[in-house]
Amino acid sequence: MTDRSFDPEELGLVAGLEIHQQLDTATKLFCDSPTTLHDPEESQRTITRYLHPTKSELGEIDEAALEESQVDRTFEYLAYDTTCLVEEDDEPPHELDGEALEVAMQIADLLDMHVVDQAHVMRKIVIDGSNTSGFQRSTLLAQEGEIETEDGPVGIEDLMLEEESAKRVEETDEGVRYSLDRLGIPLVEIGTKPDISTPAQAREAAQRIGMLLRSTGTVKRGLGTIRQDVNVSIAEGARVEIKGVQALDQIAEIVETEVRRQKELVDIAAELDERGAAAGDPVDVTDAFADTDSGVIAGALNSGGVVHAVRLAGFDGLVGTEIAPDRRLGTELSDHAKRHGAGGIFHTDELPAYGVTDAEVDALREAVDAGEDDAVALVADDPETAELAIEAAAERAETAIDGVPEETRGANDDGTTRYMRPLPGAARLYPETDVPPVEPDPSEVETPELLTEKVDRYQAEYGLGAGLAEQVAYGRRMPLFESVVADGVDPTFAATTLESTLTELRRHDVPVGELTDDHLRDVLGLVEDGDLAKEGVGDVLTVLAEDPGLSAPEAVEEAGLSGVNEDEVREAVAEVVERNAEQVDAEGMGAFSGLMGEAMGALRGKADGEVVSDVLREEIQKRA
Amino acid sequence: MTPSPGDRVRVERAGVTDEGVLMPSSDEEHLVLKLEGGYNVGVDRADAAVEVLEGGARDVGEDADEEGDASVVAFDDDLPTVALISTGGTIASTVDYRTGAVTARFDAEDVLRAVPDLAGRANYRGRVVANILSENMDPETWTDLAEAVREEIEAGADGVVVMHGTDTMQYSASALSFMLDTPVPVVFTGSQRSADRPSSDNVMNAVCAVEAATSDCTEVLVCMHGTPSDDHCALHRGTRVRKNHTSRRDAFETVGAEPLGRVDYDPHEDRVDVSFRERKAYARRGDTDLAVASDLAEDVELVKFTPGMDPAALDYLNGKSGVVIEGTGLGHVHTDLIPRFEALVDDGTTVVMTSQCLEGRVCDRVYDTGRDLLDAGVVEAGDTLPGTAKVKLMWALANVADSAEAMGCDLAGELTEESKPWV
């Protein structure tokens, strides 16, 4: 970062987390469609819709929703053979899914929360198209919990059970294309209290909550199935909600960067205030760029566009001030302009550049009556976009004089953030009248064993090594592991197969992602029943991964590992012993290890090593 | 002090303290609180300690939606004038807290406020004929509606849009089809997905209906989504349309034929195109003078025959002016029921046969049962839809000399002479 100090505690950092976790239930939250995902190419129908803002039951319109609606967009939805009319918003929602409710109550229990007496399903207005209805159904299910971290307890404010949004597939010329497979998957949203005072504590809290969630064994795993939002403010700053932090490792960096951004903005505001800064009214300055060599501007003008500019009195030098790595105040202005369809802005702190000449900058300054202490921002685009975009940029500049604006921002991959929309308010929520209130009964909910407890138990009870125990407990096949062990499969064998064997196969480019829990359960069962040698498991799984349509016994046959029963083993072993009769007579059991290798070779992995060893022992003894 | 809805309260229960605005509850056992963040939560009344922080902090319930700027719409001489007639229904409805259900509570002015996209397409005259759910629609209101349309046309409306709940829209559209000779389009529209959701079909349906009302086609039409997408509305003849799905946007279909026309919708281009199928005949502006015959005989019943029907179920038909049967197949009922209908005819009731097949025309000359029904004096309604036939019979009994004869003739596009479902 920079050589300046941005000590979070000193600056009065207050941070909270919002964790969103998809649940791995059989059906969606308000209909009976499965929660499986599809490739967009599998879609069979598309539906096109538009959304319009509506008032809450108190007659208010949410500011975030209103801003979103000013961006007129077409939403296209990809539907699949699994899609039903509820997901297409062409049928009222069914009742709240019982399985999802139960898992959510388990999570509430693990977070030491109080489940509400009566849960009301609400509609949260979201008109970016990610919900076909124009709202996300969300239910406050539990309140007031707590988790421990090394830096002290972190309160849990609330737990919401809600529906996942549709997945954004791509931007289209007129809007956005979404996929309906993800829409309606149950999701819990857990909000902490603003008890977090260091970036490291934010990370630890997120990690702890993640562990608790996975302890239920009923949460989705993999990229995008858990998302973190971080709420950050410093003493002189403002509450900023940062959406879509993908990795835990990013949380500390995001918080640090946001602390710096807020501090820089606070300092800029102080300087602007001292200078008596103000944003002026936008002006059409197209004439100043009549013969421009700037590609961006010329491109806009050639297609009937205009250049609009605004004088930012007292802003000279500050628009170009870096407030986060490679992001300036100018970038913030630009983000707002982009919301209205513009490609971005230019400002005088960075000009002349991009083909804009000194003479043009002078003409620009003159056109908006800007002095040397002033900055000028400009947008080149079609007239309507240019007008909206420069106004948005000017408004953002005006806000900079007051300090840090409250807003919703999106996390970038590099740990910085970008402006998304105003903070949503209470007005975006109103009752979902199609679903009656639910009275949840937490008394029947079983408290799941924590993953940390599982690690200990796997070691103590099953004799797994610490590393393997942790791998299994935190791995996505933990529920399968527990279920096969309960069915009698040897724990060490099950653990090695589900972790080491699969990892090894993946390294050899076997598509292990194709293996279902049923595949693995069946193969382990075959070994348990003596129908497959442990040594053959890798080969059979390889066959199944490459041809998932096969049953486990079919795969055994396909791998050429079938048909070796104990009689055949005895026959093969007897032959080996016969062939080496001299050695056996001479060495007795001393010949065992040498002959074992030969016997296994003769059976080519079709027989279980333990069986072969038992038989060999017996055959040697016979001669003794 | 007893807390009442709208108060800001603090509620404590089992170690959890909530602050928020008290909302009306749908049951006795729970207090419903709207929390700071907007979520509602129900708390067991018996176990809760409630403290009122501020009485009447918010306006909730009945009057909450009445606020807002009264829209003063400037009159534009270059635009046609469209009368917006509201009867209630989902196109302009809002949440009722007490029942938790969606009810109609807006007048036509509110529709303008609710659907700003209507601005600039026409000058509007707003009017409320009824404020009822469409399942509560009755023949008396059809008469009021026809008279309201007459007054609006006489007052200079270039087109009429009737906002109507979807459940019984087809019956009301049929009624007006028979009652009116109209020199301007009369277009029914509504919404399948309530107006309190951003995805509601009310905006596109209303915009398309207004455009259809300013078109050249002076028929009674129903204008609703043509597909599940917001791409076009279909224009159905009021006497041939039927709601064929409980919830889909494109629930309305023209039965036995293609729709009369369509309205293509593209808000990006701000383009709404009204077009009609070339091979369809329809009345145009200048063809017809305004005439209204809004009387109805209200004692007409529609009965559906099903296997196992108790003949006693027909007893309540005694003394009715008209009965429409929704028979099976080509127009049949159980042989044993034929004498019952014969007795009704003998008693002076006009008995009309339609088919529950919906598609196709009745033909009682093919099988013995049919011939016996004809002999009993039952009248065939051709391919008239059962619901339409009921409304037509109500109208015919009050307005034409020979209602039985009228049921076999086309009066308002309800009965086609030739079966050409592809047209």
Query: pLDDT per residue over B25-84, tens digit each?
Result: 878 899 999 998 889 999 999 989 999 999 888 776 544 444 334 344 567 888 999 999
* Residue A297 and residue A268 share a domain: no
pLDDT tens digits along B3-12: 888 899 999 9
pLDDT tens digits along B241-263: 999 999 999 999 999 999 999 99
Say whether B300-407 and B70-292 share the same fold.
Answer: yes
Looking at CA atoms only, how far is residue A173 from chain B in angstroms?
11
pLDDT tens digits along A501-511: 999 999 999 99
* Residue A125 and residue A263 share a domain: yes
pLDDT at position A59 over 90:
no
pLDDT at position A566 over 90:
no
Mean pLDDT of A529-541: 85
Of the two residues A219 and A57, the one the predictor is more confident about is A219
CATH of domain B70-292: 3.40.50.1170
- Is A307 inside a domain boundary? yes
For residues B62 and A410, what is the distance between their CA atoms, to the nearest angstrom? 39
Sorted by where each begins, the domain ranges of chain B are 8-54, 70-292, 300-407
Interface ipTM: 0.90
- Is A434 inside a domain boundary? no
In the prediction, which pLDDT does B91 show? 53
**pLDDT-based confidence at A68, cuts 50/70/90?**
low
Secondary structure E strands in B143-280: 159-163, 180-181, 186-189, 220-225, 232-237, 241-243, 252-254, 261-266, 271-276
* Residue A168 and residue A76 share a domain: yes
pLDDT tens digits along A223-277: 889 989 999 999 999 999 999 887 778 888 999 999 999 999 999 999 999 999 9
B8-54: what fold? SH3 type barrels. (2.30.30)
Query: What is the domain range of residue A299?
Result: 276-404
| CA–CA distances in Å: residue B44 to residues B11, B30, B31, B50 | 10, 5, 6, 11
* Residue A162 and residue A188 share a domain: yes
Tell whether B199 is within 8 A of chain A (Cβ): yes
In the prediction, which pLDDT does A461 show? 93
A140/B199 Cβ within 8 A: no
* Residue A261 and residue A387 share a domain: no
* Residue A570 and residue A536 share a domain: no
Mean pLDDT of chain B: 89
pLDDT tens digits along A108-164: 999 999 999 999 999 998 888 999 999 999 999 999 999 999 999 999 999 999 999
State the burial class of residue B12 (Cβ atoms within 10 Å of its Cβ: 0-12, 13-18, 19+). middle
| CA–CA distances in Å: residue A452 to residues A155, A456, A472, B268, B275 | 21, 7, 11, 55, 68
A46, A48, A52: best mutation site toward chain B, by most B Cβ within 10 Å? A52
Pick from B19, B31, B27, B106: which is nearest to B64 by CA? Answer: B106
> Residue A13's Cα: distance from chain center in Å?
25
Out of B30, B39, B199, name the one closest to residue A51 (CB). B199
Of the two residues A56 and A263, the one the predictor is more confident about is A263
Q: What share of chain B is helix, strand, coil (3-state, %, to 5)?
A: 25, 25, 50
Q: Which residues contact B231 (CB under 8 A, 6 or more apart)?
A: A48, B264, B265, B266
Tell whether B119 is within 8 A of chain A (Cβ): no
In the prediction, which pLDDT does A158 show? 96
pLDDT tens digits along B279-293: 888 999 999 999 999
* Residue A400 and residue A257 share a domain: no
pLDDT tens digits along B91-124: 555 544 444 444 444 555 666 677 778 888 898 8
Strands B159-163 and B81-86: parallel
Mean pLDDT of A577-600: 86
A127/B231 Cβ within 8 A: no
A184 contacts A137 by C-beta, under 8 angstroms: no
pLDDT at position A422 over 90:
no
* CA triple A357-A361-A362, angle to 5 deg: 115
* Residue A287 and residue A264 share a domain: no
pLDDT at position A206 over 80:
yes
- Quote the number of domains for chain A: 4
* Residue A614 and residue A531 share a domain: no
pLDDT at position A42 over 70:
yes
In the prediction, which pLDDT does A563 show? 60
- Which chain B residue has its CA at the smallest distance from A52's CA? B198
* Residue A102 and residue A216 share a domain: yes
Looking at CA atoms only, how far is residue B12 from chain A in angstroms?
12
Q: Which residues contact B59 (CB under 8 A, 6 or more apart)?
A: A58, B6, B67
In the prediction, which pLDDT does A237 show? 93
- Is A420 inside a domain boundary? no
CATH of domain B300-407: 3.40.50.40
Pick from B367, B311, B370: which is nearest to B336 by CA? Answer: B311
Q: Which residues contact B358 (CB under 8 A, 6 or more apart)?
A: B242, B255, B256, B385, B386
Task: Name residues 40-59 of chain B within 8 A of A (Cβ).
Answer: 40-44, 47, 58-59
In the prediction, which pLDDT does B74 show? 62
* Residue A306 and residue A168 share a domain: no
Interface size, chain A vs chain B, as Cβ–Cβ contacts under 8 Å: 144
Which residues of B are the active-site residues? Answer: 90, 166-167, 243
Looking at CA atoms only, how far is residue A58 from chain B in angstroms?
6
> Residue A175's Cα: distance from chain center in Å?
23
In the prediction, which pLDDT does A53 show? 77
Q: Which residues contact B317 (CB under 8 A, 6 or more apart)?
A: B301, B303, B323, B344, B349
Q: Which residues pair with A341 in a beta bridge?
A: none
Mean pLDDT of chain A: 90
Neighbours of B251 (CB within 10 A): 17
Return the SS3 of A387.
helix
Q: Please provide the DSSP assignment of A409-452 as one string.
A: EEE-TTS-EEEEEPPP-GGGEEE-TTS--B---GGGPPPPPPHH
B68/A90 Cβ within 8 A: no
Name every chain B residue with its beta carbon within 8 A of the beta carbon of A132.
Answer: 199
B42/A118 Cβ within 8 A: yes
